[in-house]
Amino acid sequence: MLNPVWIQTFATVATARSFTDAGRQLGLSQSSVSDHIRRLEQSVGRRLFTRDTHSLAMTPDGEALLVHARLILEAIGRAESQFNAPRLQGRVRLGTSDDLAQGPLSNVLAAFRNSHPDVEMEITIGMTGKLYELMDAGALDLMIGKRREGDRRGVPLFRGQLEWLARPGTVVDLKQPLPLILVHEPSVTRSVVLDTLAKAGCRWQIVCSSSSHSGCIAAARGGLGLTVRAQYLSGRGLAPPVNSASLPALPEVEFISLSARRLSRPAETLLRLLQKSDLRASRPDD
């Protein structure tokens, strides 16, 4: 078995190139350092150093073990840091658009919960426009969602190309107004779609409105018409229309995180985790 104490001694000797200097750094006698190295060599069944009265060098096996030793010590350091640090306590009020909530956000929240079990999570799911209102009212600590073109608030997370979606096999009758399934106002996606169609001179008809993207997906699965989502967040059971190339091309939308000016430690910790995570959903099962 690889004793972590022996591993630490071995890595220190490898860096110091001296049993005496390694002992000084570790607060050990030279005989204790020698004993640790001897036991480690017995444990792995390999000689790790060649040494005489004037020099000390690692063997090829020693160099190979040093790679593993550093990884082991880094892992131990991370574990000690996590469990020695004071446990976070408090509450985080997170707002998220429902299209992001249906993606990998649950994995991020699970990781946060596992690391900080004493933090209470309060999650609000809604249209991005409504989340901005809640942020401005001080009702949320953090939010993740879309931002309108030209808006400078928030930190970018990723960009997603909007695409037309419908029941698989749908062929859109281009001679008729486009049958649209969109979320209620205020909605960044709705505004982008309608602005795009207006600029392209296309006719449309809102055949179904919903308070959520989930409702739009359900209506589109039922064959009511076309809906729109970012490619990374496309709904299962839907596909671009057969003649989607004939429809007006839709732009990208930007997904961002936005936080209150003053954050608690739990909220700040979750914000860093969100900004490091990839919230784009994969599409193999769409």
Q: pLDDT (tens digit, 9 = 90+) per residue, 177-186?
A: 999 999 888 7
102 vs 238: which has the higher pLDDT:
238
Cα 74 to Cα 210: distance, rounded to the nearest angstrom: 50
Position 223 confidence tier, pLDDT thresholds 50, 70, 90: very high
Regarding beta strands 155-165 and 90-96, do their DSSP bridges make them parallel or antiparallel, or are they unpaired?
Answer: unpaired
Burial call 36-50: b when 16+ CB within 10 Å, e when fewer: bbeebbeebeeebbe
Residue 213 counted as domain residue: yes
Provide mean pLDDT across the span 58-71.
93
Domain membership of residue 270 (yes or no) is yes
**Hey, what's the torsion of the CAs at 164, 186, 129, 95, to 10 degrees?**
-80
pLDDT mean over 105-109: 88
Specify the pLDDT at position 218. 92
User: What range defines the domain where residue 119 resides?
Assistant: 90-158+254-276
Question: Span 219-237, mean pLDDT?
Answer: 85
Average pLDDT over residues 60-82: 89
- Do 154 and 260 lie in one domain? The reply is yes
> CA 127 to CA 215: how far, in whole Å?
12
| Rounded mean pLDDT, 68-77 | 91
Output DSSP code: residue 264.
Answer: -
Query: Quick one: pLDDT at residue 235?
Result: 66
Residue 284 lies in a domain: no
Distance, in Å, from the CA atom of 69 to the CA atom of 8, rounded to the nearest integer, reads: 8
The neighbour count for residue 158, using CB atoms within 10 Å, is 14
Mean pLDDT in residue range 222-239:
85
On whether residue 39 sits in a domain, the answer given is yes
- pLDDT higher than threshold 90 for residue 242: yes
The domain boundary, picked from 84, 112, 130, lies at: 84
131 in the same domain as 194: no
Residues 152, 174: one domain? no
Residue 73: both structure tokens together: 């010590």
Report pLDDT digits (tens) over 26-56: 999 999 999 999 999 999 999 999 987 778 8
pLDDT value at residue 283? 47
End-to-end CA distance of the chain: 47
Residue 286 lies in a domain: no
Mean pLDDT of 218-234: 88
| 65 and 187 inside one domain | no
Are residues 170 and 229 both part of a single domain? yes
Q: What is the CATH number of the domain that holds 43?
A: 1.10.10.10
The confidence band for 286, taking pLDDT boundaries of 50, 70 and 90, is very low
CA distance 3 to 10: 11
Residue 285 pLDDT:
42
Q: Are residues 113 and 192 in the same domain?
A: no
Q: For residue 210, what is the domain's CATH number?
A: 3.40.190.10
Residue ending a domain, choose from 65, 84, 103: 84
Distances (CA, A) of 11 to 73, 78, 189: 9, 17, 55
Same structural domain, 148 and 222: no
Confidence of residue 281 (pLDDT cuts 50, 70, 90): low
Determine the pLDDT at residue 60: 93
pLDDT for residue 284 = 41
Same domain, 18 and 36: yes
Q: Which residues 6+ apart lie within 8 Å of 236 measured at CB? A: 217, 285, 286
Q: Tokens 């390999």 sit at which residue? A: 46
Least confident of 110-119, 147-156, 230-239: 230-239
pLDDT tens, residue by residue, 151-183 = 888 899 888 889 999 999 999 999 999 999 998
* Domains of the chain: total: 3
pLDDT at 213 over 70: yes
3-state DSSP call for residue 104?
coil
Q: Distances in Å between the alpha carbon of 161 and those of 9, 10, 202, 254? A: 53, 52, 20, 9
Is 283 domain-assigned? Answer: no
In a domain, residue 285? The reply is no
| pLDDT at position 239 | 92
Does 50 fall in a domain? yes
Q: What count of other Cβ atoms lies within 10 Å of the Cβ of residue 113?
A: 13
Same domain, residue pair 119 and 107: yes
